[in-house]
């Protein structure tokens, strides 16, 4: 029987549990281009900073947190205000239980309620999959309706290898004249039933 997956807003006090999910990606993969595992305090600050405007969500079962997803600023200039960059990490022994889809569905619902229109994902990519990087993340995003928009070649160096990055995009709202401003996550969170 599949485990039930629940979603809630992550809090700074979740930093240690979320960092345990993230650390193996830093240490053993090129999925993140970060070299050093952040401290719990640094991770708390990242969660707090994100929650100032955007959702930071945790997926959990009856027994543990199994993943997290969040959105962040795509670019600091005002005209980019309706676009975000999305990120997701799933506990490595809990991949393929559906947590990723549930998380991204909840993230998309929250962002849509905020008035965000464009979801952008920057993903490490390789022509030749290896022990550090597969293109599973690209395939995951494709299944969720993202499409490829660009590729940067050999821009990330980790574990003695050069990796590319690709940008994938998904539109979740209508682009109109006099576009209403994006609301802060805190303004719409109570209406989401997370």
- Structural domains in the chain (count): 1
In contact, 59 and 8? CB cutoff 8 Å = no
Q: Give the CA count within 13 Å in the CB-facing half-sphere of 16.
A: 1
Let me know if residue 152 belongs to a domain: yes
Find the angle CA(19)-CA(65)-CA(16) to the nearest 5 degrees.
Answer: 25
* More confident site: 161 or 191: 161
Is 148 inside any structural domain?
Answer: yes
pTM summary value = 0.96
- Domain limits at 62? 6-181
Q: What is the pLDDT confidence band of residue 1, given thresholds at 50, 70 and 90?
A: low
Beta pairing class for 6-9 and 56-60: antiparallel
- What pLDDT is stored for residue 96 in this prediction? 84
pLDDT at 3: 81
* Rounded CA separation 194/88 (Å): 17
Percent of the chain clearing pLDDT 90 (strictly above): 94
Does residue 192 lie in a domain region? no
**Cα distance between residue 85 and residue 93, in whole Å:** 25
Residue 191 resides in a domain = no
CATH code for the domain in which residue 119 is found? 3.40.630.30
Structural domain includes residue 138:
yes
118 located within any domain: yes
Q: What is the pLDDT of residues 138-180, one digit of tens each?
A: 999 999 999 999 999 999 999 999 999 999 999 999 999 999 9
Q: What is the mean pLDDT of residues 125-150?
A: 97
User: The dihedral of CA 180, 183, 187, 193: what is its sign?
Assistant: positive
Please state, in angstroms and as integers, the Cα–Cα distance from residue 169 to each residue in 20, 79, 119, 145, following that order: 28, 17, 6, 8
Average pLDDT in the chain: 96
The helix (H) or strand (E) run that includes residue 73 is strand 65-73
User: What's the pLDDT tens digit per position in 64-113?
Assistant: 999 999 999 999 999 999 999 999 999 999 888 889 999 999 999 999 99
Task: Report if residue 1 sits inside a domain.
Answer: no
In a domain, 126, yes or no: yes
pLDDT of residue 160: 97
């Amino acid at each position: 029987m599949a485990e039930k997956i629940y979603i809630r807003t992550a809090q700074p006090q979740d930093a240690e549990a979320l960092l345990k999910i993230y650390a193996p990606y830093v240490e053993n993969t090129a999925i993140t281009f970060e070299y050093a595992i952040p401290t719990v305090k640094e991770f708390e600050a990242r969660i707090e900073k994100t929650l100032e405007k955007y959702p930071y969500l945790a997926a959990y079962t009856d027994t543990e947190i199994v993943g997290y997803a969040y959105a962040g600023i795509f670019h600091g200039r005002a005209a980019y205000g309706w676009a975000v960059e999305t990120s997701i990490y799933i506990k490595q022994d809990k991949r393929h239980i559906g947590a990723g889809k549930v998380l991204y569905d909840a993230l998309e619902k929250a962002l849509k309620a905020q008035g965000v229109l464009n979801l952008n994902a920057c993903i490490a990519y390789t022509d030749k999959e290896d022990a550090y990087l597969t293109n599973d993340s690209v395939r995951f995003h494709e299944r969720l309706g993202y499409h490829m928009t660009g590729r940067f070649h050999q821009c990330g160096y980790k574990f003695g290898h050069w990796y590319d990055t690709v940008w994938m995009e998904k539109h979740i709202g209508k682009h109109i004249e006099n576009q209403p401003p994006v609301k802060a996550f805190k303004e719409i969170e109570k209406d989401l039933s997370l």
